[in-house]
A and B are shown apart, each in its own frame.
Chain A
Amino acid sequence: MARALINLPARARRGEVIEIKTLIAHPMETGYRLGPTGAAIPRDIIHRFTCTYNGEEVFAAELYPAIAANPFITFFTVATESGEIALSWTDDRGQTQTEVRQITVE
């Protein structure tokens, strides 16, 4: 499990626009760098990020080798109801890491 830092409000008013900030530890190896033997270091990147709000996808991003290591993704969504916000990162190997946070909407 890669380390992830997530910042989103624990509480919000119904209809309020909230900002979600995410930072995950990942080398985002481009596949173009040459290693000590002269051979290219294989590509290993996170290529997809999604955010679901009570199961509904509210944000998605496709990432490419140009994204730097430890990708920082921040976006806005509208606080509609209390429940779970799930953030998922999928890498080239098909592995997905998901972090879940609760939000209370008044």
Chain B
Amino acid sequence: MAAEIAPADRRAGYDFAGAESRAMQDDDAVNPGMLGVLQGETLWATPAGTAGRSCADCHGDARAGMKGVAARYPVFEPALGGPLDLEMRINRCRAEHQGAVPFAWESEELLALTAFVAHQSRRLPIAPGERSELRPFVDLGSRLFHRRQGQLNLSCSQCHDDNWGKRLAGAVIPQAHPTGYPVYRLEWQSLGSLQHRLRNCMIGVRAEPYGYGALEAVALELYLMARARGMPLETPAVRP
């Protein structure tokens, strides 16, 4: 079992990014992720579905109503008997309370709305819930993080716990804390979710990636957020 990173040694991906990327992230007028946040702000106020209701109609001003929400996701959803991440929560709201068709995974609208909601928790410490019902899923996430997989037979932990700070194919290996999701990735030239990033990693070790919304994907998200507990959220982050 690989050694976990000591709490004092934890650093966000921001600290491993180059000066230019950090400068892009720090200025809201320059951060391309903010274009998504702006779009999300519009979507928040737009009525949708057969109920003709907008998010604002139930939740009010997001600045107040959504403060701290993204920092405590994924949560346990009793109706599912399992964990739910923010994208899934938004889509459940759409279906159940707005009578609207859920947004497709990684669609521009879902990314924008998720970014807008998560942005309301910027600078707040990551604090996923600690209900006992979540424990088995955190453990599942931990097992998935530590097991070898793929043709390259590497575990997440081997890079992100044991070799962070060193280089892989010219890029610095970060510690894999999801502090800025949805993130504006320069490689994608757009916002992307944590599940999108995890799929890229799995393809990188030549493993079959989990489908969007798969239990394994959400369990991994939950474990990563628990592992990053206390670190401030930066949404929308800019990464290479």
The answer to whether B30 and A72 touch across the interface, beta carbons within 8 angstroms, is yes
Chain B residues, CB < 8 A from A27: 189
Within 8 A of A (CB), among B15-57: 27-30, 32, 34-35, 38-39
If over half of B's interface residues share one DSSP class (helix, strand or loop), that class is named, otherwise mixed; here it is loop
Name the contact of A5 in the complex, choosing from B35, B186, B189, B190 (C-beta under 8 A): B35
The answer to whether A70 and B29 touch across the interface, beta carbons within 8 angstroms, is no
Chain B residues, CB < 8 A from A69: 32, 189-190
Complex Cα distance A3/B39, Å?
Answer: 7
Complex Cα distance A7/B158, Å?
Answer: 43
Which 10 pairs show the lowest CB-CB distances between chains A and B? A7-B29, A69-B189, A25-B35, A70-B32, A3-B35, A3-B38, A5-B29, A21-B29, A3-B39, A68-B189
Q: Least Cβ distance of A89 to chain B in Å? A: 13
Within 8 A of A (CB), among B176-232: 186, 189-190
Chain A residues, CB < 8 A from B29: 5-7, 21, 23
Chain B residues, CB < 8 A from A3: 35, 38-39
Chain A residues, CB < 8 A from B35: 3, 5, 23-25, 70
24 contacts between A and B (CB under 8 A): A3-B35, A5-B28, A5-B38, A6-B29, A7-B27, A7-B29, A7-B30, A21-B27, A21-B29, A21-B30, A23-B29, A23-B32, A23-B34, A24-B35, A25-B35, A25-B39, A27-B189, A68-B186, A68-B189, A69-B32, A69-B189, A69-B190, A70-B189, A72-B32
Complex Cα distance A6/B21, Å?
Answer: 19
Q: Which A residues are within 8 Å of any B CB, using their own CB?
A: 3, 5-7, 21, 23-25, 27-28, 68-70, 72
What band does the interface of chain B fall in when counting residues whose beta carbon is under 8 Å from A? 10 to 19
The answer to whether B189 and A23 touch across the interface, beta carbons within 8 angstroms, is no
| B190 (CB) vs chain A CBs: closest residue | A69
Chain B residues, CB < 8 A from A28: 189
Q: Least Cβ distance of A25 to chain B in Å? A: 4
| A69 (CB) vs chain B CBs: closest residue | B189
Chain A residues, CB < 8 A from B32: 23, 25, 69-70, 72
| B32 (CB) vs chain A CBs: closest residue | A70
Complex Cα distance A28/B190, Å?
Answer: 12
Most buried by A among B28, B34, B35, B189: B35
Complex Cα distance A14/B120, Å?
Answer: 38
Most buried by A among B32, B39, B186: B32
Q: Least Cβ distance of B164 to chain A in Å? A: 28
Chain A residues, CB < 8 A from B27: 7, 21
Chain B residues, CB < 8 A from A24: 35
